[in-house]
Structure 1
C-alpha cells in the first residue's frame, strides 16, 4: 500500500460533511518540538482519521496516531524503545470561548479553527504526541541496567541550630 502524505491544514466541517477518511503519514522532520523531546524517532508518523457528524449535527473527527520513538531512561541513562499510540476525538470550534466548549459533549476535545475554518493538523498531532510521552521516561525495572540494590539513598543530617537573632529582644522585654 502506498503511503500518502496528509495535508498540513484542512477544513474539518467540510470534511465531515463529505464523511472523509484519511490514512497516511506526516513527516517527523516537520515536528521540531517532538523531535527535540525524544532520543530518536521514526521518519514518518502513521495517521488514520475519520471526519463525521453526530446525532446533534456536530462535526467531529477521530482517529489514531502511531509512531516509534526511543527515549532515554532517567534511571540508567540507557536508550529504550517506546511506541506512541494516540487516540483522539476533536470537534472544531470558532474561538475557544468557555460557553462554546462547555456545550460540547465530554467525548470531544475542542480544537480551534482559524479565520478560514481550517485546523492545523501538523501542530495538533505534534501536540498530542508530546502530551502522550511519559512524564519521566523509565525502563521497566526488570529491563533497566540499574537495579534497586545498585542505587544508594543518602540520609539528610539535621542542620545545626543557630542562635535566634531575636533573642536579644526577648531579654529587653523582661526589663
Structure 2
C-alpha cells in the first residue's frame, strides 16, 4: 500500500470497535475515516490518519451522557522494530507493524480513537446540581448570615 500510495476512506459503525465500546457510554454513531499510505521526502513509510466520530461519553461532572465529536489528524511512521523510532522526523508518531509490513486498518483507527479520548470526560455545558454547589450567594437572605466577628474591629479602626 505504501509503494502504490493507496488511500482508503469510508464509514464504519462505532459498534464495530469492541475495545472502544468498553469505554464509551453508547455504541451509536458512525466513524468517518481516511487512511493515506505513502513515503515522504526522507523515504519514511507512513500512514496519514484522519478520523471524525461523535462518541457518547459519561460526563464526570453531571454523570449524564453527552456526545463529544472527536477529530484525529495524525501521521504515523511505519516501523518494524523499536530502534527505527529514533529515525522518524518530528511530527510523526511511531506505529510498530509486523515484519511483513501488514497492519489492520480497523485496529489503527480504534487505537487512535482510544488515544484521543479524555481521561476525565466533562461536558462543557454541564452544571453541577444545586444540592452539590449550594444556593447562590445572591439568593441567600442577609438575615440568615451570622454576624461578622471582625465587624467590631472595623468599627474601632474607623473611629
TM category (shorter chain) comes to 0.7 to 0.9
2:128 paired residue number: 146
Preserved CA contact (<8 Å) 1:41 1:68: no
Preserved CA contact (<8 Å) 1:78 1:145: no
Gaps of 5+ in 2: 135-159
Change (3 A) 1:148 1:96: farther
> After superposition, what is the alpha-carbon deviation per residue over 1:97-138, rounded to whole angstroms, capped at 9, x for unaligned?
2xx111111221111111321012222221111111111111
1:124 paired residue number: 108
Higher RCO (Cα < 8 Å, 6 or more apart)? 1
1:39 paired residue number: 25
Give 1:37 deviation, angstroms.
0.5
Preserved CA contact (<8 Å) 2:49 2:75: yes
Aligned counterpart for 1:59 among listed residues 37, 45, 66:
45
TM-score, normalization by structure 1? 0.68
Aligned counterpart for 1:80 among listed residues 66, 76, 80:
66
Give 1:148 deviation, angstroms.
7.5
Distance (Å, rounded) in 2 between the aligned partners of 1:149 and 1:105: 52
Q: How many residues in Structure 1 have an aligned counterpart in Structure 2? A: 134
Preserved CA contact (<8 Å) 2:49 2:76: no
TM-score, normalization by structure 2? 0.75
Gaps of 5+ in 1: 1-14, 153-175
Which 4+ stretches in 1 moved above 6 angstroms?
none
